[in-house]
Structure 1
Amino acid sequence: MITWFKLATRNLFRNGRRSLFTVMAIGLGFAAVNALGGFTAYIFTSLEDSYIHIQGNGHMSIFKKGFLEEGKLDPTRYLLNEEDVRVIDEVLQAHPEIRISTPELNISGLVSNGEVSTIFLASGRVSSKVDVIRSRSRTKVGNMRLFDGDPMTDDKPNGLGMSQGLADQLRFKQGDTVVVMAPTVSGQINALDGQMLQTFSSPVEALEDKLMLVSLEFAQNLYDTTSVDRINVLLNDGLLTQPMRATLQSELAAHGLDVEIKTWNELSTFYTKVKNMFDVIFLFAFLIVFTIVVMSVVNTVGMAIMERTREIGTLRALGVKRRGIVGLFALESMLLGLIGSLVGVLLTLAVWSSIATFEPTWIPPQITRRIPLEVYLVPKEMLWSLLALMVLSLLAASLPARKAARMEIVGALGHV
C-alpha cells in the first residue's frame, strides 16, 4: 500500500503546474465554502443571541392558551393573573436548569408632549431581570451600549425609553416629562406621567416612530391591572429548551393552568426566514464549488491518462489488474482532494485571522449601530468539507480511470 502511495505522489509531481492549479482550485473552493459557513454561523448565533439575550426574551415564553391568536382582539381575557403568575413561579423555581424568569406586559396607547399626540407600542418589564438576561450574551454586541441616555432601573418605575424616531417626532429630550394615555382593562381612559431616560433605534424601521420601553409597574398602572401577558424564561443551557418545554407544559397542566409555551425560534420568525435564506445560499455555494472541483479533477486526470497511456499499457503488461489502474488514478485524485483541502484549511485560517486582526465593522439586520464583523471557525464543517472534497475528487476520477483501465495492452503500448 505504501508503494502505491509513493507512486501516486510521484505521479502528481510529474506535471507540477497542472497539479498546483487543481490544488489551488480545490483550496479556494474549500476556503470559500468554510468562510461562508463561518459567516453564516456568526449570523445565526448573533440573531439567536439578539432575540434571547440582547432583547431580553429568554429561551421560551409562557402565555395563556389562545393569547397569540386572539390576544390582540381581547387582550384582557388572555392575561395571566396574580395567582397564575404565583403558581408558574413556584413551578419554575423548582428547576435548577432555569436561570431566571421575568414577567412582561405589552401595552399600546397614545403618547403626548402636551401639544401633539401619536400612538405608541411598549413592553413593560422588570429592568433588573432583563439586565441579568442581557449579561448572559455570548456576542460582542451584548457588551455594547445600544441606547443613548441613562439605563432603566427598578428604582425609577416612571422612567421610560423611546425610539429615536418617536422622540424626534414629539421633540422629546432626555429628562423631559412624557404624558402616556391608554384604556385600562375595564375600558376607562387612564393617563400617567413618565420621564424619558433614553433613546434607542428600533430594529424594525416601520416601528422607529412607535416603540417605547417602560417598567412593568408603569405598564400595569397604566392598564390598571396586576396581570401580565407572558413570562419569559432563560435557561442555563439553550440545548435544554425543548426538553424543558415539555416538562414545564406537563407540570403547569397538572397545576390546572391552561397555558402554552413557545420557544424563542418559534416566536422569532425573522430568525427562521434568515436561516432558510442562508441555507439556500450555502447550498448554491457548495454546488458551485462541487462543479469546480469535479471539472478540475476530471481535467487533470483526463490529461494524465492521455500522457500516460503507454505507462498504463506497461503496468498492464507487468500484471497490474484493471482495478489496480483504477485504484492508482483514484488514489492520485484523492491525494489532490486532500492536499487541496489542507490548503483550503490554511486559507480559511488566514481569512479568519485577518478579520480578527483588522476588526471590520458593519450594520446587520435588526441592529442599527455598526458592530464588529466576525467569521467563526466551525471545525465540524471544515472536517465534513475535507471529507466531501476527497470523496468528490475520488468519484470525479472514477469514469476516466475506468476508461483507461479498459484499454487493450497492445494498443496502449503502441500509443503515440
Structure 2
Amino acid sequence: MSPQRLALRTVLLGRPRTVLAVLVIAASLSALDLFAGHIASNRARLEYRAVIGDRLGHLAVQRPRGKHDNRAPMFDQEEAARIRQLVEGTAGVLLLLPQMSVGGLASTGERSALFHGEGVDSGTPADAPGKLKAGVRNGIAVSIGHARTLGLRNGSNVTLTGAAPDAPGRPLSAEVVDIFSTAGLNPDARSVLMPFEMAQSLLDTQRTERFVIFLSNPEQMEEKRDELRRALISGGVAAEVRTWKEQSQTFIVEEKTAKVSFDSVAGMAFAVIAAAIAATISMNAFERRREVGTLRALGMRNVSVFLMFAAEALWMTAIGVVVSLVASGLIAWVVNRAALSYSAHHALRPAPMLVELDLNRMAMAVVTVMAVALLAALVPAFKAARGGIADALA
C-alpha cells in the first residue's frame, strides 16, 4: 500500500486526537476567513464613502502639486475643454465632472462662520450627500453642523464671501436648498456644496481645479488610469491622474492598519495550526512505532515512512480546509440573513454591515496553510523515519 493511502486511512479512522487537530485547523482558518471578509467589507464601505460620499470619484485629473505647496494650479478654459474631449472619448468613462474647492465666510446678518465648500456639477451621482436643485443657480447644500451654527434651514438666505490668495473676496447671495448629514464621511468633508459656476464666481475665476471621473467598471481603475495618462500626454496636457485610494487619507490609514491586523491574526492562526499538526504527528508516530517497525520489516523504506507522516499532515489540513470553507460560508450566510431580516423590520435604522468573503485572501490562506502543515510535519516525520526496526518492535 502506498504511503499516501496509508496516511489517508489513518486520518479517516477518526481518532480523537486527529479529529481534534482537524477541528483546530478548521476553526483557525474559518476565523481567518471571516476576519478577511470583515476587512473586505470595511474596504468596500471606505470605497463607497470616498468615491460617492466624499465625491472623489474613481479617478481625478488635476495639476501636479508642488513640493512645498499643497495647492495645485488650475486648468484654464482651453485646457479644460481639451481634457473633456480626451476623457469623454475614452471607453469606460461613465461621468466626467468638474470640481472646485472654495473657502470663505458665510453670514446671515446675525451670525457668521467660516466655511469649507466645494463647487460641484449637477451630474453628481444621485446617492451622494447634498442635493442641489438644477433650476436654482444660487442654491447651496449645507451640512447639519454648519446649519446649526448659522441657524439655517431649507429656504434660508445666506451671504457667501469667497477667500482666495490671489483674488479679492466677492460676496454672493445664496439660498439653502438642502441640509445634509456628514456622518460617516471624511472628517474634512465639505460643509457647503454649491453649483460649480457659483464657486468660480466666488473665486472670480474661469479656471477649473480638477475633473472627477466615475467609471462604468471600477475594477478597471488602474488600467483606465494608465490609458488616460497616455491620452493626456499625447494631447499635450500637463496633468496627473490619481485614484481615490491615493486621494483618501482615511483609506490610506485604515488600509495600513488592516494589513497589520490581518498579518497578526494570520500569524497567530498559522502558529496554532502548526503547533496542532506537529503535536498530533509526533504523538501518532510515537503510538504507532510498532506499526512503523512492522512496515519497515516488511520492506518499507525510510523515505516511504517519512512520506506517510507528511501526507498524513497534508490530509488533515486538506480536510480542515474543506470544513473551514463550509463553516465560513454557512456563518456568513446566517449572519447576512439575520442582518437583512433585522434591517427589514427596522427600516428607519442604519443598514447593518454585511459579512463578505475575500476569495483572494482565502485562496492565499489555503496555499499558506498547506505549506505550514508540511513544514510542521517535517521534524516528527523525519524522526519517525530514522527509528530503528529492532527498537520499534521491542
By how many angstroms is 1:308 displaced? 0.9
Q: Where does residue 380 of structure 2 map in the other structure?
A: 400
Alignment partner of 1:96 is 2:91: yes
Mapping of residues 54-65 of structure 1, within 5 Å: 54-65=53-64
Distance in 2 separating the partners of 1:246 and 1:7: 54
The reply to whether residue 47 of structure 1 matches residue 41 of structure 2 is no
In the alignment, the residues of structure 2 paired with residue 159 and residue 384 of structure 1 have an alpha-carbon distance, to the nearest angstrom, of: 51
2:54 and 2:186 in contact (8 A); partners too:
no
Secondary structure in structure 1 of the residue aligned to 2:106: strand
Contact 1:37/1:378, CA 8 A, preserved across alignment:
yes
Among 327, 335, 347, the alignment partner of 1:347 is: 327
Decide whether the 8 Å contact of 1:184 with 1:223 is kept in 2.
yes
* TM-score normalized by the length of structure 2: 0.90
Match of 1:366 in 2: none
AA in 2 matched with 1:47: L
Measured at CA, do residues 330 and 186 of structure 1 come closer, stay the same or move farther in structure 2, by a change above 3 Å?
A: closer
Alignment CA distance shift 1:248-1:204 (3 Å): closer
- Taking structure 1 as reference, are residues 283 and 319 closer, same or farther at Cα in structure 2, changes over 3 Å only? same
1:105 equivalenced with 2:104 (yes/no): no
CA distance in 2, matches of 1:70, 1:223: 19
User: Which deviations, in whole Å up to 9, do the C-alpha atoms of 1:316-346 show, x marking residues without a partner?
Assistant: 1111001111111111111110111111111
Contact 2:53/2:129 (8 A) holds in 1:
no
Q: CA deviation at 1:261?
A: 2.4
Question: What residue identity is the alignment partner of 2:92?
Answer: E
- 1:6 deviates by 4.2
1:123 aligns with: 118
Residue 186 of structure 2 contacts residue 250 of structure 2 at CA under 8 Å; is this kept in 1? no
- In 2, Cα distance between the equivalents of 1:40 and 1:278? 7
| Aligned residues between the structures | 387
SS at the partner of 1:57? Answer: coil
CA distance in 2, matches of 1:259, 1:340: 52
For 1:388, the equivalent position in structure 2 comes to 368
Which residue pairs with 1:154 in the alignment? 134
Q: CA deviation at 1:400?
A: 0.6
Structure 1 residue 163: deviation in Å? 1.6
Identity fraction in percent? 25
Q: Deviations over 1:281-309 (max 9, x none)?
A: 11111110111111111111111112111
Does structure 2 conserve the Cα–Cα contact (< 8 Å) formed by 1:62 and 1:259? yes
Give the letter for the 1:83 counterpart. E
SS in structure 1 at match of 2:86:
helix
Q: 1: distance between equivalents of 2:228 and 2:14?
A: 65
Q: Structure 1: where are the runs of 5+ without partners?
A: 135-141, 362-368
Which whole-Å CA distance do the structure 1 matches of 2:207 and 2:67 have between them?
16
Q: Report Cα offsets for 1:71-95 as digits up to 9, x if no partner.
A: 64xx7xx222222211111112222
**How far did 1:189 drift?**
2.8
| Bigger mean CA deviation after superposition, 161-170 or 91-100 | 91-100
In the alignment, the residues of structure 2 paired with residue 244 and residue 46 of structure 1 have an alpha-carbon distance, to the nearest angstrom, of 22
The verdict on how the C-alpha distance between 1:69 and 1:83 changes in structure 2, with shifts beyond 3 A counting, is farther
Is the CA contact (8 Å cut-off) linking 2:313 and 2:377 kept in structure 1?
yes
**Structure 1, 84-93 or 3-12: larger mean CA deviation:** 3-12
3-state DSSP of counterpart to 1:354: helix
1:79 aligned partner: 74
Unaligned runs of 5+ in 2: 342-348
Q: Which residue of 1 aligns with 2:257?
A: 277
Contact persistence 1:185–1:223 (CA under 8 A)? no
Paired residues of 1:105 and 1:124 also in contact (CA < 8 A): yes
1:289 to 264, 269, 272: 269
Q: Could you say what secondary structure the match of 2:34 adopts? A: helix
- TM-score normalised per structure 1: 0.85
The alpha-carbon deviation at position 20 of structure 1 amounts to 1.6
Q: Report deviation, 1:241.
A: 3.3
Give the superposed CA RMSD. Answer: 2.6
How far, CA to CA, are the matches of 2:188 and 2:234 in structure 1?
A: 40
CA distance in 1 between counterparts of 2:294 and 2:362 reads: 40
Pairing 1:215–2:209 present? no
